[in-house]
Structure 1
Amino acid sequence: MRDILKEIWATTRKNKLRTALTGFAVAWGIFMIIFLLGAGNGLINAQKLSSERFLDNSMIIGSGQTSKAYDGLKEGRNISLNTTDMEITSRSFNKHIDNVGAQADKEGQTVSLENNYFSGSLAGVYPNDIQINKKELLHGRFINDTDIRQQRKSLVISDENARELMPHNTTALVGRYVAVNNIAFRVVGIYKQDKSSMWSYSYMPFTTFSTIYNKGNKVENIVFSFHGLNTEKENEDFETQYRARINNNHRAAPDDESAIWIWNRFTSNMQMNKGISIIQTALWIIGLFTLLSGIVGVSNIMLITVKERTREFGIRKAIGARPLSILRLIIAESIIITTIFGFTGMVLGIASNMYMDATIGHTKVNSGLFEATMFYNPTVGLDICIEAMAVIVLAGTLAGLIPARKAARIRPIEALRAE
């Protein structure tokens, strides 16, 4: 083995440029597949991070406008959801639905404490809002069932708004009374503001909101979590049945998709995952074609090596060298070249991903109103890097096998005649 290594080293030194170009093709192939996958993962992880702000198995139902004439009524009627729709949702679909709630909001409201104040949006919600929209509670509690039943004047505000009211000790704000448009509310909790949202909401019990702002039995949105709907077909069937039932309550055509709108976060995530899968496949295809260029380079260098050393191999066989020794020499050269340069490309690819992660790995776009994560954690698992390395070494071995077999089979007399 030692003699083989010395011979390979001598051949490499003799053909420096050719070996360097071949090695560059191998290293570039490994580097590009790791770099592309890392960059793609950065974009994909940013999308996943955004979708994690909501509960996957949840739906939001909103009011719309009829697009069909039905039951003697013209199209173009505005539909307003109400508490009866909530009861239908809870009673008729309890096989799949867990918790039913509602949302309503009002912009431009002022919350004050002594001389400090802030202006923002108020939202009336049910207790399930904290799970469905995944709010991180920092202090105190969220709206609960007792708040809903007793129409308590309870308020949950964001940490940023809490600092506006009590800059030096926001924790002490929990339990204090603040004025919401001159109505006293007790702050019961503080949540972490999601900077990816344009709006900073203060939350109160939906029943309290409805009474103060004279909403009657109207609701803006119905929200609920669900279970047992695991496929796209099951979700489509559920939405069709649900839409027909709610539309019937408002004398709208059962198949009128404009009367109410349904945001199914489960199917939205399924569609997003399909898009992610397509992106990942495209990145792999591009990377593998780049890797293929390295494999072709190794194959070419082996073919040229065999052609240039034909006379040498003929002399070896003439003085008693076995075909297996020639085969082993060429295969060993192919493996060593692909391994060394492949490892170099892998290290450079990992280093480039680490650099991306350190510099732009948590890139956010700040519009002044909200922040959006555009690039997050652009890295590739070590297992992927090792697999890519194994592929190039195996492919390099196979690429060297064809010319190696040709060299091993050549007859000495034919080799000596070669120029």
Structure 2
Amino acid sequence: MFDIDKWQEIIATIKKNKMRTFLTGFSVAWGIFMLMILLGSGNGLSNGVAQNFMRDAVNAMWMWSGRTSIPYQGMKENRQIRFTNSDYDLIKKIPETEFASGRYYISGNRLAYGNEFGEYTAITCHPELKEVESIEMVQGRFINEVDILQTRKSVVLGQDIYDALFKKQEAIGEYIKINNVPFKVVGICREGGGTRHRNAYIPVSTGQKVFNGANRLHNFALTINAQSIEESKAVEEKVRAALARKHKFDPTDRAALGSYNKLENYLQTMRIFQAIKIFIWIIGTGTLIAGVVGVSNIMLIVVKERTKEIGIRKAIGASPSSVVGLILLESILITTVAGYIGLVLGTGLMEGLNFFVEQQYATAAASNNGNGDIIFRNPTVSLNVAATATMLLVIAGAIAGYIPAKRAARIKPIEALRDE
């Protein structure tokens, strides 16, 4: 292994056939380079999608009312299902519910401050909507329980609304008008999951009272205790069954009660990315194997060219193991050095791309027009993967040289000396 003469001979052979060695090494370097690029790109897409999901609580669920499409217990279809505050209380009592908020929509949302005005979305909600939708407070506070109990005319403005109405001036404590009704600004926020912050949040009790909503609610946003798709579906069906019993509609009627289960969507998406990663490994490994096959073919040619030399070695007493070792070392050297170069170039390119992506993300996050949403994050390859790839290279080099080495070891000295 550490025989200086053997290594000098290997290096001399490589120098003698520079172009052949270069092309052989290039095929291996290209294979590992592409493997790193594919793995890094797959990680970048997976991380970006996962982070966008994290903008809202991953275990969030939204439910909204509609019209029945199935007759139920003697009642005809096309009945309007109307949620009320008591439905919110019902959902809160379900043990698997973590956070929940009812919402009542207000139509014609004209927001004004002084001479500035615009059309935005006013959302009436409970305080826990902040947790469900991962709302980030920039200034002030969010809606609280005191606002609900005292039906305060408090409002939390999205960043875009604040920028448009106040032009960077102090807003906390000021009054704006929502459909000509004055509301006191108590906070400024950025909404999770979006790049536009054009929602204004007010207490649900205030919205119902001021805008003639009585005790009406249009939908619910909640988070649930669930770690798998099966658990998530079970909780969803439990909530659906409770509301179906109260409003007398078929629990399977999706038109009467619509829903969106984010955890189910998230887990299914992550499974797709796991499958993509496996596919990437297959493609990358196949590319690497193609390079290794090229190395093996070249080493067969080397053995053929050096048949007489190998015969002389064996004639003067060289053991088969020393011949095998010589061929194997040359194969491993070419494969490992070329593969390491491809590995360094691939990971280096991914690190450079990651730096650029992070700069773009930081710029987007610092701007007032978005919260830095991006679908491609941290496209790097982990140290474990790099170590695994390096190990594969060494093994691949050994495999590539084994068959030619065994052929060289079987050469009989008398036949080798006759070879032309």
Normalized against structure 1, the TM-score is what?
0.91
Alignment partner of 2:85 out of 83, 86, 105: 83
**Structure 2 Cα separation of the partners of residues 114 and 272 of structure 1:** 46
Q: How far 1:107 moved relative to its partner?
A: 5.1
- Aligned equivalent of 1:96: 96
**Structure 1 Cα separation of the partners of residues 104 and 286 of structure 2:** 53
Please say which of residues 33-42 and 240-249 is displaced more in the overlay.
240-249
Q: Which amino acid aligns with 2:253?
A: D
- Aligned equivalent of 2:14: 12
- Aligned equivalent of 2:146: 146
Instruction: Indicate if the aligned counterparts of 2:331 and 2:398 stay in contact, CA closer than 8 A.
Output: yes
Instruction: Indicate if the aligned counterparts of 2:56 and 2:134 stay in contact, CA closer than 8 A.
Output: yes
Identity %: 38
Does residue 50 of the first structure (1) align with residue 52 of the second (2)? yes
Does residue 338 of the first structure (1) align with residue 340 of the second (2)? no
Task: Deviation per CA, 1:113-166: give whole Å up to 9, x if none.
Answer: 222333311000111111110111111110001111111111101223222232
Please say which of residues 409-418 and 215-224 is displaced more in the overlay.
409-418
Instruction: Indicate if the aligned counterparts of 1:121 and 1:199 stay in contact, CA closer than 8 A.
Output: no
Instruction: Indicate if the aligned counterparts of 2:161 and 2:199 stay in contact, CA closer than 8 A.
Output: no
Alignment partner of 1:281 out of 278, 284, 298: 278
- Aligned equivalent of 1:159: 159
Alignment CA distance shift 1:356-1:192 (3 Å)? same
Q: How far 1:198 moved relative to its partner?
A: 5.2
**Structure 2 Cα separation of the partners of residues 369 and 69 of structure 1:** 46
Instruction: Indicate if the aligned counterparts of 2:68 and 2:78 stay in contact, CA closer than 8 A.
Output: yes
Please say which of residues 36-45 and 283-292 is displaced more in the overlay.
36-45
Q: How far 1:334 moved relative to its partner?
A: 1.0
Q: How far 1:110 moved relative to its partner?
A: 2.5
- Alignment map for 1:110-125 (pairs within 5 Å): 110-125=110-125
Q: How many residues align?
A: 411
- Aligned equivalent of 1:376: 377
Alignment CA distance shift 1:389-1:108 (3 Å)? farther
SS at match of 2:105: strand
Q: How far 1:314 moved relative to its partner?
A: 0.9
Instruction: Indicate if the aligned counterparts of 2:160 and 2:197 stay in contact, CA closer than 8 A.
Output: no
Instruction: Indicate if the aligned counterparts of 2:173 and 2:186 stay in contact, CA closer than 8 A.
Output: yes
Q: Which amino acid aligns with 1:303?
A: L
Q: Which amino acid aligns with 1:411?
A: K
Q: Which amino acid aligns with 2:53?
A: S
Normalized against structure 2, the TM-score is what?
0.91
Q: How far 1:316 moved relative to its partner?
A: 0.4
**Structure 1 Cα separation of the partners of residues 228 and 375 of structure 2:** 29
Q: Which amino acid aligns with 1:376?
A: R
Task: Deviation per CA, 1:225-272: give whole Å up to 9, x if none.
Answer: 222x33322222332232222122222123223321222222221111
SS at match of 1:65: coil
Q: Which amino acid aligns with 1:82?
A: T
5+ long unaligned stretches in structure 2: none
Q: Which amino acid aligns with 1:26?
A: V
Instruction: Indicate if the aligned counterparts of 1:303 and 1:403 stay in contact, CA closer than 8 A.
Output: yes
Please say which of residues 340-349 and 70-79 is displaced more in the overlay.
70-79
Alignment CA distance shift 1:369-1:345 (3 Å)? closer
- Alignment map for 1:293-308 (pairs within 5 Å): 293-308=290-305
Q: Which amino acid aligns with 2:172?
A: V
SS at match of 2:120: strand
**Structure 2 Cα separation of the partners of residues 125 and 238 of structure 1:** 22
**Structure 2 Cα separation of the partners of residues 195 and 164 of structure 1:** 21
**Structure 2 Cα separation of the partners of residues 317 and 156 of structure 1:** 88
Q: Which amino acid aligns with 2:390?
A: M
Task: Deviation per CA, 1:271-323: give whole Å up to 9, x if none.
Answer: 11111111111111111111111111121122221222122111101012222
SS at match of 2:331: helix
SS at match of 1:332: helix
Does residue 223 of the first structure (1) align with residue 225 of the second (2)? no
Q: Which amino acid aligns with 1:127?
A: P
Instruction: Indicate if the aligned counterparts of 2:159 and 2:197 stay in contact, CA closer than 8 A.
Output: no
Does residue 393 of the first structure (1) align with residue 394 of the second (2)? yes
Instruction: Indicate if the aligned counterparts of 1:160 and 1:193 stay in contact, CA closer than 8 A.
Output: no
**Structure 2 Cα separation of the partners of residues 68 and 108 of structure 1:** 33
- Alignment map for 1:306-325 (pairs within 5 Å): 306-325=303-322
**Structure 1 Cα separation of the partners of residues 62 and 303 of structure 2:** 69
**Structure 1 Cα separation of the partners of residues 221 and 168 of structure 2:** 36
Task: Deviation per CA, 1:161-187: give whole Å up to 9, x if none.
Answer: 222232243xx3112222222222111
**Structure 2 Cα separation of the partners of residues 199 and 82 of structure 1:** 28
- Aligned equivalent of 2:209: 211
**Structure 1 Cα separation of the partners of residues 339 and 99 of structure 2:** 55
Instruction: Indicate if the aligned counterparts of 1:30 and 1:389 stay in contact, CA closer than 8 A.
Output: no
Alignment CA distance shift 1:37-1:80 (3 Å)? same
Q: Which amino acid aligns with 1:187?
A: V
**Structure 2 Cα separation of the partners of residues 107 and 318 of structure 1:** 98
- Aligned equivalent of 2:37: 35
Q: How far 1:53 moved relative to its partner?
A: 1.0
Q: How far 1:87 moved relative to its partner?
A: 2.4
Alignment CA distance shift 1:418-1:75 (3 Å)? farther
Alignment CA distance shift 1:415-1:396 (3 Å)? same
Q: Which amino acid aligns with 1:113?
A: Y
- Aligned equivalent of 1:177: 175
SS at match of 1:406: helix
Task: Deviation per CA, 1:41-71: give whole Å up to 9, x if none.
Answer: 2222221121011112222111133221112
**Structure 1 Cα separation of the partners of residues 180 and 239 of structure 2:** 41
Q: Which amino acid aligns with 1:34?
A: M
- Aligned equivalent of 2:72: 70
- Aligned equivalent of 2:28: 26
Instruction: Indicate if the aligned counterparts of 1:298 and 1:338 stay in contact, CA closer than 8 A.
Output: yes
Q: Which amino acid aligns with 1:377?
A: N
- Aligned equivalent of 2:200: 202
Alignment partner of 1:328 out of 325, 329, 349: 325
Q: How far 1:380 moved relative to its partner?
A: 1.8
Alignment CA distance shift 1:230-1:82 (3 Å)? same
Q: How far 1:345 moved relative to its partner?
A: 0.6
**Structure 2 Cα separation of the partners of residues 371 and 385 of structure 1:** 29
**Structure 1 Cα separation of the partners of residues 231 and 382 of structure 2:** 35
Alignment CA distance shift 1:77-1:371 (3 Å)? farther
Instruction: Indicate if the aligned counterparts of 1:154 and 1:188 stay in contact, CA closer than 8 A.
Output: yes
